[in-house]
Amino acid sequence: MSENRWGYPDLGFGVGLRTVHYQHILANKPAVDWFEILSENYLDTGGRPLYVLDFVAERYPVVLHGVSLSVGSTDPIDFEYLRKLKALSRRINARWVSDHLCWTGVSGLNVHDLLPMPYTDESLRHTIQRIRTIADYLERPLVLENPSTYVEFAASTWTEWDFLATLAREADCGILLDVNNIYVSSYNHGFDPDVYVDAIPAERVTQLHLAGHTNKGTHILDTHSDYVIDRVWELYRRVFQRMGGIATLLEWDESIPAFEVVHGEALKAKQHREQLEAQPPVPLVDAPAPEVYAAV
Amino acid sequence: MPRFDPGLLRTQRWMQDAILTPGPVAGVPRMILPSKTLEPLERLDIYRNMYVARLQEALEVDYPALLEYLGGDMFSDLIALYLKHNPSRSYTLNRLGDRLPDFVRRLENVPRPGFAHDIARMELAMTEVVDEEETPALTPDAIAAVPANAWTTVRLRPVKALRLLALRYPVNDYLNAIWASEPMPRLARKNTWLAISRRNYTLARTPLTGPAFHVLSALIEGRTLAEALAGRRLKQDQLFAWFRDWVAAGIFHRVEL
């Protein structure tokens, strides 16, 4: 089994905390290993969402997962947002704080989408500096997720996996490896998802995401609206073989079924791991690190 | 063809403008690569289409009665126009619709804009009350502790999760009919008054009479009971009944002697 850089624990198999499941969780206290919450849903409310969150945080490990950090944006860092994020993470004793390798807006606006970065030297240098600043403020490592993307910029000179691996090493941040997103982007951009998985430095990977998606034929949308497909389970097994047991979370955000269905899908990951653990171990070999960006 | 890199700042401004502005986009083939199945503009359009859809979905959650009243097509047109003039500047979608009531009132093509405005005001107040900080409601012990001769001079402080609305249309009845799948009430103009509050994380909409609204408004503004009642002819039984209802709804937080 590998261990990530900060010794963050393998929390087991969790699910995202969603409003439609509040009543079930309050009434039944289901036997879930851990919950991930969407940070922005709890930053500015004193109502029922915060009450439920406190209830959950008293009983389960909780991880904060944001969508508005905009770590790659050229706008100034929003320290008021960070102040609230830090306070929330302390309130619920968040095991770690994650967001996405993306930007969500510029010129003071927010389009509320995980917009893709051009993978250039400039982007890398810019994002590394911001991650360091944010981690210093939060007084904890930042964990960043690879997003699903639908465009590739002509300006890009890095592959996404080399960009992410280098970013994580140089900025000293963690990686939330979304296995479904790797598959979605590989379909949309035509790369080999196995190559992506093999290039990620295992010691940086703090958490894994799994989800379903919507295949439109010409492209795939990361809708979190369905069961995990077999090819993504194959990738998950590859990740386990390379990196060992890592906290795994099942996301389901559209057409959300009953809690037991979502939790049952998360527990399929446990079955895959148990099957692999029963097999002879495969030695962990990291892909060679890409050339480190010299100016950082 | 040489690689085109306008830099991170210009790339982000270009892409954001493309997402926020419907219609043709300049420079797409230079900025974005094609995939095996999609042209550069088709790839960019995935983000452009998701933008309005995502934000409209968020506003549909906050304004279900306005959606019901206007219908899907008119609501979509309204939201597209609203977002053009009120793009999000916040990390949260929770307050994206805060300017929608005033925006609706100024539109000329909305049927009965006054009615639509009142619906939107009520639904905005409901979202505000949902998110307000929880403050405990006045307890029977706290009420019992007030000396009988002190009631005229006490000040009653409300819970934070409270909004009072004076409305020109019976929009609370309209919302009740929607939720109960009952026939819609007449949309004729009629002054109504409403308290929207939250107790134990449950939202309550309490219809008020005009006099009750004015007395309660005065109390919430910090006036004493004597000041709030000044110039009003009220039977004591009426006042006691109001007070009992307001306490039961958890409207007051504490008594200041």
Q: Do B89 and A123 touch (CB under 8 A)?
A: no
Q: Do A47 and B9 touch (CB under 8 A)?
A: no
Q: Which residues on chain A are in Cβ contact (under 8 Å) with B43?
A: 150-152, 188, 219
Residues 6+ apart with CB under 8 A from A37: A16, A17, A53, A56, A62, A63, A64, A65, A92
DSSP code string of chain A:
----TT------EEEE--GGGHHHHHHH----S-EEEEGGGGSS--SHHHHHHHHHHHHS-EEEE-S---TT-SSPP-HHHHHHHHHHHHHTT-S-EEEESSB--STT----S-BPPP-SHHHHHHHHHHHHHHHHHHTS-EEEEPPP-S--BTT--S-HHHHHHHHHHHHT-EEEEEHHHHHHHHHHHT--HHHHHHHS-GGGEEEEEEE--EE-SS-EE----SPPPHHHHHHHHHHHHHH---EEEEE--SS---HHHHHHHHHHHHHHHHHHHTSPPPPP-PPPPPPPPTT-
Give the chain B residue nearest A67 (alpha carbons): B91
Question: Which of B164, B145, B143, B161 shows the shortest CA–CA distance to B214?
Answer: B164
Burial pattern B145-169, b for ≥16 Cβ within 10 A else e, equals: eeeeeebeebbbbbbebbbbbebeb
Task: Report how far Cα B257 is from the mean position of its chain's Cα atoms.
Answer: 34
**Widest CA span in chain A:** 55
Which of B50, B88, B92 has its CB closest to that of A43? B92
Q: Do A112 and B55 touch (CB under 8 A)?
A: yes
Token pair, residue B132, equals 């307000």
Q: Which of B3, B10, B11, B20 to mutate to test the interface with A (most CBs of A within 10 A)?
A: B11
CA dist B168 → A10, B106, B112 (Å):
58, 16, 11
pLDDT 10s digits, B3-16: 899 999 999 999 99
- The conformational region for residue B201 under phi > 0 = left, psi -120 to 50 = alpha, else beta, is left
Q: What are the backbone dihedrals phi and psi of residue B147, each rounded to the nearest 5 degrees, phi first?
A: -60, 140
CA dist B67 → B77, B123, B192 (Å):
11, 11, 21
Average pLDDT over residues B179-199: 93
Which neighbouring-strand residues pair with A93? none
Which of A40, A51, A74 has its CB closest to that of B9? A74
Q: How large a percentage of chain B has pLDDT more than 70? A: 99
Arithmetic mean of pLDDT over chain B = 95
pLDDT 10s digits, A20-32: 999 999 999 999 9
Q: Is the ipTM of this complex over 0.90?
A: yes
Q: Do B89 and A126 touch (CB under 8 A)?
A: no
Q: Which domains does chain A have, with CATH numbers?
A: 13-277 (3.20.20.150)
Provide the pLDDT confidence category of residue A290 given band limits of 50, 70 and 90.
low
Whether A58 has a pLDDT exceeding 50, the answer reads yes
Chain A nearest-CA distance from B248, in A, is 19
Q: Do B94 and A44 touch (CB under 8 A)?
A: yes
Return d(Cα A225, Cα A257) in angstroms, integer.
9
Whether B152 has a pLDDT exceeding 70, the answer reads yes
pLDDT 10s digits, A226-283: 999 999 999 999 999 999 999 999 999 999 999 999 999 999 999 999 999 998 765 5
Give the chain A residue nearest B7 (alpha carbons): A122
Whether A285 has a pLDDT exceeding 80, the answer reads no
Sole residue written with tokens 């996996």: A161
Which of A43, A109, A126 has its CB closest to that of B89? A109
pLDDT 10s digits, A189-238: 999 999 999 999 999 999 999 999 999 999 999 999 999 999 999 999 99
Chain A nearest-CA distance from B37, in A, is 5
Q: Which amino acid is at A268?
A: K
Which of B43, B93, B131 has its CB closest to that of A112? B93
A20 touches B at CB < 8 Å: no
DSSP code string of A115-174:
BPPP-SHHHHHHHHHHHHHHHHHHTS-EEEEPPP-S--BTT--S-HHHHHHHHHHHHT-E
Which of A47, A105, A153 has its CB closest to that of B131? A47
**The pLDDT value given to residue A293:** 47
Q: Do A47 and B132 touch (CB under 8 A)?
A: yes
Q: How many CB pairs under 8 A join A and B?
A: 137
Report the Cα–Cα distance between both ends of chain B, in Å, rounded: 80
Which of B6, B19, B131 has its CB closest to that of A46? B131
Which of B16, B47, B92 has its CB closest to that of A109? B16
Whether A296 has a pLDDT exceeding 60, the answer reads no
Q: Do A110 and B43 touch (CB under 8 A)?
A: no
A76 touches B at CB < 8 Å: no
Q: Which residues on chain A are in Cβ contact (under 8 Å) with B132?
A: 46-47
Return d(Cα A133, Cα B235) in angstroms, integer.
65
pLDDT 10s digits, B99-132: 999 999 999 889 999 999 999 999 999 999 999 9
Q: Which residues on chain B are in Cβ contact (under 8 Å) with A118?
A: 5, 8, 11
Question: Which of A179, A211, A208 shows the shortest CA–CA distance to A193?
Answer: A179
CA dist B189 → A74, A121, B192 (Å):
50, 63, 9
Please, how many CA atoms are within 13 Å of residue B194, restricted to the half-sphere of its CB? 24
Q: Do B46 and A115 touch (CB under 8 A)?
A: no
